[in-house]
Amino acid sequence: MKYGMRRRHRGITLIELIVVMGLMIIMIFALGYGFTGGLDLQRVSAKRREEYSAMEGVDRRITHLLQSAFLSATANDTSSFFIGEMDEGGKSEDIGCDRLVFTTIAPSIPMASLESADDFETQHRSRGPIGGLSEVSYGTRAIGTPKGNQSGLFERVQTPSDADNTQGGMESLLSSQVQKIGFQFWNGTDWVAEWDTTVAGQRRLPASVKVTYTLNTATGSSGSDNSILHVFIVPLFTSDVTADNPVTTTTSLTR
């Protein structure tokens, strides 16, 4: 007579339980690390988008006004000019001068003025000057007194322009992230660090303007500088300066 073999049912041993728990702990840490890493990546990506958005805004604004730079053909016209110089008379750095003042026809007529039925005199009294040649100034030193402790890139716009290119108009903070800015000008053969159309014999616009600025970002936990150096070039379509017709007078146009 055959006897059936009794099957033994063994339970989970303590060692197996410890191994399973260890694997579960490792998986939990891995999932937590991956989740945290994903959040960090999302924060960094959002910060980068903000930085590039800030750069694009500054680039578009400066490009828009520069590409409509205007210089009258009248040699003694003091209400139109294009001046690039060091703000406080310091030595030019590799990125060029740090103050740019020019006249432009870019600022458009406000929509409220276009839709208004009032005549020009009435709008002029209520809204101030409308249209015409505007004076624009860029620099990291405010011409007026900035509100609070504001610092960064300041834009000053005056409409209409006048013979005094050092003041006037409305000044605003274009970007609080810009630490330092420089302008260089293409004279047909080389980049130069200064430009002044108020000097006799130099009443011409440069072919292009190279704009270089340092954008300040959040400082890392170690205190390291995370600033970004950004460069873009704006061609001036109204300039007659070319390689075949360069600016040869170098009285105040120095490298």
The pLDDT tens digits of the residues spanning 22-73 come to 888 888 878 877 777 776 666 766 666 665 666 788 899 999 999 999 998 8
Residue range(s) defining the domain that contains residue 110? 42-235
Of the listed ranges 70-79, 127-136, 186-195, the least confidently predicted one is: 127-136
- Does 247 fall in a domain? no
In a domain, 14, yes or no: no
Which pTM value belongs to this model? Answer: 0.70
State yes or no: pLDDT of 152 exceeds 50: yes
SS (H, E, C) the chain: CCCCCCCCCCCCCHHHHHHHHHHHHHHHHHHHHHHHHHHHHHHHHHHHHHHHHHHHHHHHHHHHHHCCECCCCCCCCCCCCEEEECCCCCCCECCEECEEEEEECCCCCCHHHHHCCCCHHHHHHHHCCCCCCEEEEEECCCCCCCCCCCCCEEEEEECCCCCCCCCCCEEEEEECCEEEEEEEEECCCCEECCEECCCCCCCCCCCEEEEEEEECCCCCCCCCCCCEEEEEEEECCCCCCCCCCCCCCCCCCCC
* 122 inside domain: yes
Q: Tell me the pLDDT of the chain averaged across its residues.
A: 79
> Is 25 inside any structural domain?
no
Is 23 a member of any domain?
no
- Asked whether residue 179 is assigned to any structural domain, the reply reads yes
Question: Would residue 68 count as lying in a domain?
Answer: yes
Confidence at 161, pLDDT banded by 50, 70, 90? confident
Per residue in 93-134, pLDDT (tens digit) is: 689 999 999 999 876 555 555 455 665 566 555 655 556 789
Domain count, the chain: 1
Q: Is residue 200 part of a domain?
A: yes
